Amino acid sequence: MVATGPNIDPITLEVLRSAFAATCNEMALVVGKTAYSPPINEGRDLATGIYDRHGALVSQGEFDLPAFVGLTHLTVPEVIRSIGLENMQPGDIYMINDPYVASTHNNDIHFIKPIFHDGSLIAFTSSTAHWSDVGGVSPGSLNPRARSHFEEGMRIPALTIYKQNVLDTDIVGILLANMRQGWERLGDLQAQVAAVRGGERRILALVAKHGSATVLAAMEEIQHYSERLARAAFRALPDGVYYAEDSVDQDLWTGEPKTVRLTLTIEDDHAVFDFLETDGAAESGINCTIAGTTSGVFIAMGSILPPMPMNAGVMRAIVIKAKRGSIVWAQPPSGISAMAITTMECVMGSVTLALGQAAPKRGVGLAGALLNITYAGSDERPEFDAPFINYTWGFGGMGGAYDHDGANYSAAPYASSAMNIPCELQERRYPVLYRRCDLTQNSEGPGAFRGGLGLSQQIAFPFQGGTLSNIGNRERFGPSGIFGGRTGGFARLILAEGTENEQNLGTFAVNAPVQRGDVMTFVSNGGGGYGDPLERDPARVLADVVDEYATIAHARATYGVVINEIDRRRLLFEVDEAATAELRAAMRAS
């Protein structure tokens, strides 16, 4: 039996629930408008949250990066454990990025602020953002070849960065001395501090209006409400055991793939996500932290189950089983900087596929992997004359679903709130020029409803050289389809494409040298398909040919649809229905 929580009228509860979400949105807006680095202020690689006095997640922003929301279920409790409730005071702000207990990788920096009213702790606010560099071997600190976290930048345990509103300048000095472009990091720090302070003001305003007892009651009841919805969602699914797996392309030092294996058991109103058969730790930086694994389960559940406020209450309806030292529960000093794009994504993939088996009408093919590109060097142009780190990304296609195609070029579910960093801004701030940015033809995962198309981008370095690093995946194992849908197209990163010097850098390049005049091409995955491609409506295949998403040859070979060209310039094509029926019959027979 689920507790119903304290007595609070439903109208007040909804007013406060919406106020909490609005507060998170406002905190995110503060960070997005005042942070210095483009991945935060343009790309929105950030999240905010409100937690009750015990550190349980109450509310998140409506436009926050999903990858951060689930993991903060562990972040604030770790701060409480490390600092101690008895040591917390008004005006304090805490900072942490320790991946092994409370985060994803070292770049994701969390600021936590306790909120007091009449001398009593009543809540916490948080701000999380991806800093473009935190030190380490590689500019940008994303090093998929890292054998340990010592090669990936600063690991920061829970510490007090502000004590009773006084900044610890010694700590800040140590941090900035060990991070590239310290002025930019300081700007990001100040933005996040302003956000958690702004959240505190909003919570105290709600307390002044409604009273602390009502606000605390609402925080508790919101979690109970989400728990009831989660349990109802599981109760609506057929009891059973469902198996799924997804693989990272390779452990960089062995060349062998690493597989996440999930046995999902649904029984009545709860679910057990068992990853105990997952592969052991990798020698490179693709290991996932337990916070990242928890977040991956959290996100995939939110994508498949009916809508519900995703907070700590949802977690009460599930159990996650994992083995310490496996790729889904990294232990120090295992490398972890590439975990979000690799193993965490495969955690999400296995959960998505397993839940899709239990709920076919809500299932989807897997989305394309996110490619993270870091181009770094020293900009020698007279108007700049300074070091730079250009960190950007490339989205892929979404998976096909029960009754619609996947979206083209969209952020993966764990980064669905992230935005494209405009080409124009990158060209203005960094020594790069974009030559091409368009959809990749024939890159979808075929299906009755196809996956979305990936993107092909070509970036030139006409002014000078530098180094190029990338974290990606699915160059070897594309995004899986479901219920007969096929795998989406493969990712790749190529230098000097189409020339005698063409070089495949792979999706795990680290500090690869690039010369002045070089051109880089990176191509993201298409999403996995849903259902048998031979069941796709020929009219949809025709529309894809007209839109130049697919070629006539691809339509024939993949979907068994014969299309005749009447006038390409005027986009006039037609389906040969008789030939299509004959071809499809032959393809099914074979």
Q: Compute the average pLDDT of residues 461-483.
A: 92
Local confidence band at 484 (pLDDT 50, 70, 90 cut-offs): very high
More confident residue, 247 or 417: 247
Report whether 475 contacts 490 (CB < 8 A): yes
Percent of the chain with pLDDT over 70: 99
Spatial distance between the Cα atoms of 214 and 218, rounded to a whole number of angstroms: 6
Residues contacting residue 4 through CB under 8 Å, at least 6 positions apart: 221, 224
Per-position b or e across 300-319, b if 16+ CB within 10 A of its CB: bbbbbbeebbbbbbbbbbbe
Residue 461 pLDDT grade (very low, low, confident, very high; cuts 50, 70, 90): very high
pLDDT in tens, 279-315: 999 999 999 999 999 999 999 999 999 999 989 999 9
Q: Other CB atoms closer than 10 Å to residue 187's CB: what's the count? A: 17
pLDDT bracket for residue 3 (50, 70, 90): very low
Pick from 78-87, 165-174, 515-524: least confident: 515-524
Tell me the mean pLDDT in the region 67-91: 90
pLDDT at 237 over 70: yes
Nearest 10 degrees: Cα torsion 428, 430, 432, 437: -70
Give residue 427's pLDDT: 92
Does residue 71 surpass a pLDDT of 80? no
- Say how many C-beta atoms besides its own lie within 10 A of residue 456's C-beta: 20
Looking at the chain, the whole-number percentage of residues with pLDDT higher than 90 is 81
What pLDDT was estimated at residue 96? 97
* pLDDT tens column, 565-586: 999 889 899 999 999 999 999 9
pLDDT average, residue stretch 81-87: 96
Task: Quote the radius of gyration of the chain (alpha carbons, Å).
Answer: 24
Burial classification of residue 564, based on how many CB atoms lie within 10 Å of its CB (0-12 exposed, 13-18 middle, 19 or more buried) = exposed
pLDDT at 205 over 60: yes
pLDDT category at 248 given cuts 50, 70, 90 is very high
Listed range (67-71, 319-323, 498-502, 529-533) with the worst mean pLDDT:
67-71
Q: What is the mean pLDDT of the chain?
A: 93
Q: Is the peptide bond before 333 cis (omega within 30 degrees of 0)?
A: yes
Residue 345 reports pLDDT greater than 70: yes
Going by pLDDT thresholds of 50, 70 and 90, the confidence category of residue 227 is very high
Question: What average pLDDT score do residues 137-153 get?
Answer: 93
Whole-number Å distance between alpha carbons of 358 and 39: 37
What CA–CA distance (Å, rounded) separates 523 from 347? 23
201: its two tokens: 């003001």
Most confident of 3-12, 267-276, 410-419, 513-522: 267-276
| Per-residue confidence (pLDDT) for residue 70, from 0 to 100 | 72
| Mean pLDDT value of segment 367-386 | 89
Contacts of 446 (CB under 8 A, 6+ apart): 481, 485, 486, 529, 533, 536, 558, 559
Sign of the C-alpha dihedral, residues 193, 198, 204, 206?
A: negative
Answer yes or no: is pLDDT of 1 > 50.
no
In this predicted structure, what is the pLDDT of residue 286? Answer: 95
Q: In what order do the strands lie in the sheet with 57-60?
A: 57-60, 46-52, 120-130, 108-117, 93-96, 159-163, 166-167
CB-CB neighbours of 120 under 10 Å: 10
The whole-number pLDDT of residue 69 equals: 76
Tell whether the model's pLDDT for residue 4 goes beyond 50.
Answer: no
The span from the CA of 439 to the CA of 441, in Å, is 6
